[in-house]
Structure 1
Amino acid sequence: MSTLESIQARIEALQAKADALVAKQSEGALQKIRDLMSLHGLSISDIEQYSGTRKKTGRSKSLKKQSTVAYQDPKTGATWSGRGRAPGWIAQAKDRSKFAVGASESAPKTKGKAGVAAKGKGRAKGQPRGPQPALYRDPQSGATWSGRGRAPAWLASVEDRTPFLIG
C-alpha cells in the first residue's frame, strides 16, 4: 500500500516530466516560427501590425458601430453616448442640451416620421418614472400610498377614498 508521501513524490516527478515536455514542444514551435519569419523576411512589428489591423477591420467591428460621445458632464468630465441607461448626472435633467457635445447635438430634435415627438420631449403617455409623492394617508397608522400599484389593505376595501386624500 502506498503512502501519501510516495504518491506526492510521484505526482511531483510526473509534473516535472510534463513541464519538460511542454518546454520542449514550445521550443520546437518557436523554432518553426523563427524559421518562417526569416524565410519570408518578417519582423515582430510586422506580425503586431498585421494582428492589430486584423482586429480593427474584423467582422465584429463592421457589424457594431462605435458609439461617440454625445453628452459630457461639465463638472466631472464624465461622458455618455446617449445610448443605454442615462447616468445619474444627466438622468434628472429636464434640458439635456446644456450637456451636449458639439453644435449638432445641442440643436432641438424635431418630430420623427410618424409625427411622434422626439424621446423625452412632450411625452405624456404612461406614468412618470421614479418615486411619486404620497396621495393617500391612513389617519390611524400614518401609512401612505402614492396611488401607483396595488392599493394597500387599509384602502382597498373602501368605496370612497376622498377622506384619505392628502391636501
Structure 2
Amino acid sequence: MPTLEQIQTKMKQLQTQADALIAKKAQAAVDQIRKIMLAHGLTTEDIEAKAKAKRETKAANGSTSKVKMKAASSLKSKAPPKYLHPKTEATWTGHGRAPAWIAEVKDRSKFLIAGAEATVAASVGTASKAKTVGKKAAAVAGAVGHRGQRTGPQPAKYLDPKTGATWSGRGPAPAWLAGAKDRTKYLIG
C-alpha cells in the first residue's frame, strides 16, 4: 500500500502535467485567435468595442443578469455615477449602501470616474442651496411643512404668570403646565 508521501508526490506530478496541458491548449487558442485577427485586420480595441456594444444592446433588451440590471439602473438614477468597477462596468453613485465590489475597499479613489468628483460636488452644492432657499421662503411665508404642520418657531399659547415662561403647545409640556388640571387659566389672550 502506498504511503501518504508517495500519493502527494504523485498528485504533484499529475498537477504539473495538468498545468502543462492547460497552458498548451491556451497557447493554441491564443495562436488561433491571433491568426484570425491578422487575417481580418482586427485589433483588441476593435474586439472590445464590439463586445461592449453587444453588452449594451443586451442591457437595452432586458436580457441581463441582476447584477448588470443594478448597474444599468444606477445609470438611470437622478444622481450621476461616481464610482465604476473596471471589470464589470458596474457603477455606484456614492449614495446608499455600497455594493459588494467596493464595500470593503479602503481607498475608493481608484474606482472614481474621471470628473465625477467635481460634477457631484457641484450638484450637491446646487441642491443644498436650493433646499436652503426653499426653507427660508417657507419660514417667511409660514408655509405648511411635514404632515400639514407649520415649520419653524411657533407663537406662544401658554404663559406661566409666576415666571413668565411660555409654551407654544407643541412638544412635551413644561413642568409648570404638565401638572395643571385646567390649562385654560394659562392660555394667552
Tell me if TM exceeds 0.5.
no
